[in-house]
Amino acid sequence: MAQKVPNPTPGSNSTLLRRKPEGTHSQGITSHQVGIAWSWFLVTVPIAALTAVFLVLVFHYRLYHGDPPFPNLRLPSAEDEKNVVYVDLSSSMILFTTSWASSVAPMLSSFVATVYTYVDPDQTSYTYLGVPETASLLTQGFTAKTYGARTQCQLISSKCTLQNAASSVKFNCSADFTGLINTPTLQAAFFEDESMSKNLRGKVVSNCSTGNPYYFALASVVNLSGGKTPNSTEFVKSLHGVPTYVLGCHTTIYDIEYDRLNNTVTRFQPAASNTSVSNIWQTSISQTQDWFPFFQQAAGTAIFSDTAEEFAEKVALALSKATIALGADALGAQPALAAQDRETLLVARIPVAPLVAMVAVCLLYVVCGLVLTGIAAWSARYEVRDVQARLSIAGLVADRFEEPGLRSDANCVEEMFAEHAGQESKRIAIESVDGVGVYRYTTWPKPEGSASGW
């Protein structure tokens, strides 16, 4: 409990702390400024520096899926998640940095063509030339132009009046395509139109004016190899039990522009080629027989189809591949219309909410340090530090036992003692006031002539 202190008498050896009169310019004890500044530094600067370093790292190494220069080469799934930051840093480094932020505060307080098949959403099959499958295609996207083909076939045995003739099977599709099927040899004829009225085979000059598409017919036998033909009247067996057929087809050559992204065709735009281009492919197949074994092998596999339509679709696809492969020698390498490389990185996924929360808490810690600094500086006004120093143990000892003149203009506690001013020191003793047990503090001056001090 606070008690009222009596006014001191002029002879009293005690001194009360009094405010100095206005106009006095004594500095007093001012070491509180250094202490406040040091406390502010420890509370605010390290945590602010760590927060700044963390933010610099996050935004310097921040990544996006990126905006590809060509919109048609953009992966649908390559979209940045909302409220997430992708950083090209290991998770351990991020945890190290954030753990420091959470730990310091308490402590402080060449070109090769390959034939591909593309099936569009309408289930239409196209065969085209493309670059071969390589590991680099997994990280590359490009837009390119190429050539492709689409062949459509149907069995026309009934139309060609396919019928037995002794050991052979006779067919008569038109005046330019008629004969007997009596050997496994493939018989082929190419025409300008569907009527099969003009055979182009062996007539190189007339090939120059062939349109796109071009038409052809094939007649041959099928080796069942223990199987059976599809359920269709378009397969006619000879007297020896060998199935025969006549196939009518037409092939269209296309100029194709396509996008390949993530090793997948994402855009495919075919347009019918002009006759100058289509005749290159047409003559490559119509004037050669190198593709016969390939076709017969494909037909031998397709014969196990369930229906005649399925058989025709499979051999048509094989014919498209043969056509594109035979005409590939006439092509040369050309640069892609657009190309890009993708780089896959192992990144740290930082949700925005925790990031903002951590930064906000760190900044709040800094703000608290600034507020406390301001409070400390405000509280240190009016010689508060001087009062605190004089109320310390050393200050009380000096106030009680030293001369009043030494205590008035001291700038530090040490200046309140006689030794600091070069004066002789005193001995503190306890004496009896009345000789019956009441004691008090007193000071003894240094004896005169004493060399050792006491």
Say which residue, 100 or 107, is predicted with more confidence.
100
- pLDDT, greater one: 150 or 448: 150
Specify whether 280 is located in the same domain as 324.
Answer: yes
- Digit-coded pLDDT (tens) for 126-137: 999 888 777 667
> Is 398 among the domain residues?
yes
Identify the band that residue 270 occupies on the pLDDT scale cut at 50, 70 and 90. very high
Claim to verify: residue 62 and residue 126 sit in the same structural domain: no
**103 and 141 inside one domain:** no
Q: Tell me what pLDDT residue 60 has.
A: 86
Q: Quick one: which of 112, 134, 146 has its CA closest to 263?
A: 134
Domains identified in the chain, total number? 3
- Tell me, yes or no, whether 453 lies in a domain: yes
Output the pLDDT for position 152.
92
Q: How far does Cα 395 stand from its chain's mean position? A: 67
Residue 15 has pLDDT above 50, yes or no: no
In a domain, 151, yes or no: yes
In this structure, the answer to whether residues 228 and 272 fall within a common structural domain is yes
Distance CA(243)–CA(230), nearest Å, equals 10
The tens digit of pLDDT for each residue in 231-245 reads 778 888 887 778 888
Same domain, 185 and 313: yes
Assess whether 103 and 124 both reside in one domain.
no
Per the structure, the complete domain to which residue 295 belongs is given by 116-332
58 half-sphere exposure, CB direction, 13 A CA radius: 20
Which is nearest to 327 in space by CA: 148, 177, 99? 148
pLDDT at site 26: 45
Q: How confident is the model at residue 254 (pLDDT cuts 50, 70, 90)?
A: very high
Q: Tell me the pLDDT band of 11, cut-offs 50, 70 and 90.
A: very low
Q: Which of 191-195, 243-247, 257-261 has the lowest mean pLDDT?
A: 191-195
Residues 291 and 322 both lie in one domain: yes
257 and 126 inside one domain: yes
Q: Please, which pLDDT band fits residue 435 given cuts at 50, 70 and 90?
A: low
- Is 385 inside any structural domain? no
Residue 31 lies in a domain: no
Which secondary structure element, helix H or strand E, spans residue 376, and what is its range?
Answer: helix 352-379
State whether 139 and 238 are in the same domain: yes
User: Same structural domain for residues 254 and 312?
Assistant: yes
Same domain, 242 and 200: yes
Residues 220 and 352 placed together within one structural domain of the fold: no
**pLDDT grade for 432, boundaries at 50, 70 and 90:** confident
